[in-house]
């Protein structure tokens, strides 16, 4: 990360003490990142993260009490702009899509840490959707099973402007927000504003939810 910039701030939600300490250690060795706080439960994170206002949250799925997917959904209501990365040992398709539909911005398997963690944090902060290779293959495989987008017949999608539909179409093809802004010749901030409007009009909280609606699948 270029010098002179404020470090990206991170909160960690992980119930396993050893894993939590390992994540903190990884962040401490990275000068461009700073760990603000750690939480062992979803309930504690829901109370603390809105006050901390981190740049990124790392969330384990298998938490005692409120699980990570429920936490992501609740945090999205309080901090809609907060990017959240799911960290988990599970790679079942159902959990992947439940997490992304809830509003998670990416999904990393714990066995890929630390080599993928730092790039993923930096990527998700700039509008990316990082995923471990195994997870990405499952997502791509899912979309390949869908024969034809149903945007022309979906009432919610029809509410989008031409530019918003253009951006949504590129999202469905896997482009990142930065790549979309470059491709369309618009400012990154403008592209993110369009994306926020797309989410609002489609009543979704994540790019996966928006893409599912574009493809004619109900993400709820």
Give the domain ranges of the chain: 8-141, 147-214
Sign of the Cα pseudo-torsion (169, 175, 176, 182, in order): negative
Residue 105 to residues 5, 67, 89, 168, 181: CA-CA distances in angstroms? 23, 17, 17, 16, 18
What CATH architecture does domain 8-141 belong to? 3-Layer(aba) Sandwich (3.40)
Give dist(CA 61, CA 126) in Å, integer.
23
Token pair for residue 198?
């797309």
Give dist(CA 217, CA 25) in Å, integer.
41
* CATH 2.40.40.20 is the classification of domain 147-214: no
Exposed / middle / buried, residue 186 (Cβ in 10 Å: 0-12, 13-18, 19+): middle
Q: Are strands 84-88 and 106-109 parallel, antiparallel or unpaired?
A: parallel
Per residue of the chain (220 residues), what is the pLDDT tens digit? 444 578 899 999 999 999 999 999 989 888 889 999 999 999 999 999 999 999 999 999 989 999 999 999 999 899 988 999 998 887 666 777 788 778 888 888 887 766 788 888 888 887 777 777 777 666 666 655 544 444 443 567 788 899 998 898 888 777 778 888 889 999 988 998 998 899 888 887 777 777 777 766 555 5
Exposed / middle / buried, residue 34 (Cβ in 10 Å: 0-12, 13-18, 19+): middle
Give strand pairing partners of 193.
none
Cis peptide before 114 (omega within 30 of 0): yes
Give dist(CA 24, CA 20) in Å, integer.
6
Question: Is this model's pTM higher than 0.85 or not?
Answer: no
CA angle 138, 157, 151 (to 5 degrees): 60
């Amino acid at each position: 990360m270029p010098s002179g910039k404020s470090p990206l701030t991170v909160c960690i939600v992980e119930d396993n003490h050893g894993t939590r300490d390992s994540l903190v250690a990884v962040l401490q060795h990275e000068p461009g990142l700073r760990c603000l706080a750690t939480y062992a439960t979803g309930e504690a994170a829901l109370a603390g993260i809105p006050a901390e206002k981190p740049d990124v949250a790392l969330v384990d799925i298998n938490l005692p009490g409120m699980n990570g997917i429920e936490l992501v959904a609740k945090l999205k209501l309080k901090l809609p702009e907060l990017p959240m990365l799911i960290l988990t040992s599970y790679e079942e398709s159902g959990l992947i899509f439940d997490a992304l539909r809830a509003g998670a911005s990416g999904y990393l398997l714990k066995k890929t840490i630390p080599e993928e963690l730092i790039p993923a944090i930096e990527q998700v902060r700039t509008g990316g959707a990082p995923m471990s290779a195994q997870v990405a293959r499952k997502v791509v495989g899912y979309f390949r099973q869908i024969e034809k987008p149903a945007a022309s017949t979906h009432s919610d999608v029809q509410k989008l402007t031409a530019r918003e539909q253009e951006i949504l179409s590129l999202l469905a093809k896997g482009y990142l927000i930065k790549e979309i802004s470059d491709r369309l010749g618009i400012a990154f901030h403008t592209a993110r504003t369009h994306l926020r409007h797309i989410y609002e009009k489609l009543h979704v909280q994540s790019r996966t939810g928006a893409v599912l609606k574009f493809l004619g699948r109900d993400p709820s």
